Amino acid sequence: MRDVNLLFFNNSVCEEKLDGKYSIDSMIQGADSFARLSNATYFIIDFDTHEMLSRSEKMLYLEDVTDNECQRESKNPYWSFVDEETLNKLLLIRNNYPLVGRTIDLADYRSHICTIDYPIIIRRRKFFINQKFTPLVMRSDGITKIGLFIIRPSTSDHMESFIITQSRIRYRFDFKAGVYKTFDLDASLSVQEKMILQRVQKGFTIEEIAEDLHLSISTIKTHRNRIFKKLQVRTMPEALTVIGNYHLI
């Protein structure tokens, strides 16, 4: 059995500001409440002790898995169900992830989100998941002590990884170069396309969007098709997932 242990070694609360176990328990209770409200899958890892502190009662795709189906041991339960090629790519991402922290502002580092789309194999079927990570507690030396992971179905059919900072600087992992590079994901979306997506988020229909923006329905449909192409999705719900994952608007 191959033990890949931790996803990340690093990083929003400084450890010395914590009030012992009570503060950690409060964060776990907050994560539990969030999971109940959003029906999300989450888990929290203490990177110092390599311990999973908390996890959702139900784990997306893993509810019916038996122990003998695990491919390897891992603190991240989803890493137990990746093939060797995917595992090697995840390890490459993990090893290069700390380098970004050395190049960005500490406030950005403490509040960043790292998102990865990757495939898992359950009962010989491949599912792409979207995994988001953000630090909950940092040590005084800037290293992550406790981190929160959120798992959702992915709209992607290929591996991607982005680091998204509070100041909206984004880094995309370049698998050929094996490093994160700055990347302006939303530069290709026009102002009008963003306005359309904002209205879709609010539940507007195509007809309502056209009326609100004083455009024809055919023009809205043209913009919609361009949005799909730019975001590499097929439906508007998928588009909303992508802009939510990458904080595009």
Place of tokens 């939510």: 244
Looking at 154, 182, 210, the residue that finishes a domain is: 182
Same domain, 146 and 222: no
Residue 64, domain member (yes or no): yes
Looking at 182, 213, 228, the residue that finishes a domain is: 182
Looking at 141, 163, 182, the residue that finishes a domain is: 182
Same domain, 167 and 199: no
Each residue's pLDDT, cut to its tens digit, for the chain (249 residues) gives 344 443 333 345 555 555 555 577 888 888 888 888 888 899 999 988 888 999 988 899 988 787 677 777 888 999 999 999 999 999 999 999 888 888 888 777 888 899 999 999 998 889 999 999 998 888 777 778 889 999 999 888 889 999 988 877 889 999 999 999 988 766 678 999 999 999 999 999 999 999 999 999 999 999 999 999 888 788 998 888 888 777 777
Same domain, 138 and 19: yes
User: Residue 60's domain spans which residues?
Assistant: 13-182
Residue 226, domain member (yes or no): yes
Same domain, 162 and 210: no
Same domain, 111 and 29: yes
- Residue 54's H or E segment, with its range, is strand 51-55
Same domain, 23 and 84: yes
Predicted local distance difference test score (pLDDT) of residue 24: 77
- Residue 28's φ and ψ, nearest 5 degrees, are -65, -40
Same domain, 141 and 235: no
Predicted local distance difference test score (pLDDT) of residue 111: 84
Same domain, 28 and 148: yes
Same domain, 195 and 177: no
Separation CA 228–CA 226 (nearest Å): 5
Number of domains in the chain: 2
Predicted local distance difference test score (pLDDT) of residue 11: 40
Kind of pairing, strands 113-122 and 170-174? unpaired
Cβ atoms of residues 147 and 14 within 8 Å: no
Within 13 A of 28's CA, how many CA atoms are on the CB side? 16
Residue 1, domain member (yes or no): no
> Structure tokens of 111?
């509040």
> Structure tokens of 208?
């309502």
Residue 117, domain member (yes or no): yes
Taking CA atoms, 46 is separated from 3, 10, 139, in Å, by 17, 10, 11
Instruction: Report the CATH number at residue 222.
Output: 1.10.10.10
Strand locations in 101-237, DSSP E?
Answer: 113-122, 125-138, 144-153, 160-164, 170-174, 179-182
Separation CA 108–CA 96 (nearest Å): 17
Residue 139, domain member (yes or no): yes
Residue 126, domain member (yes or no): yes
Same domain, 40 and 59: yes
Predicted local distance difference test score (pLDDT) of residue 3: 43
Predicted local distance difference test score (pLDDT) of residue 6: 38
Same domain, 54 and 165: yes
Residue 7, domain member (yes or no): no
Residue 8, domain member (yes or no): no
Same domain, 148 and 221: no
- Residue 236's H or E segment, with its range, is helix 236-245
- The residue type found at 94 is R
pTM of the model: 0.77
Predicted local distance difference test score (pLDDT) of residue 30: 83
Instruction: Report the CATH number at residue 119.
Output: 3.30.450.20
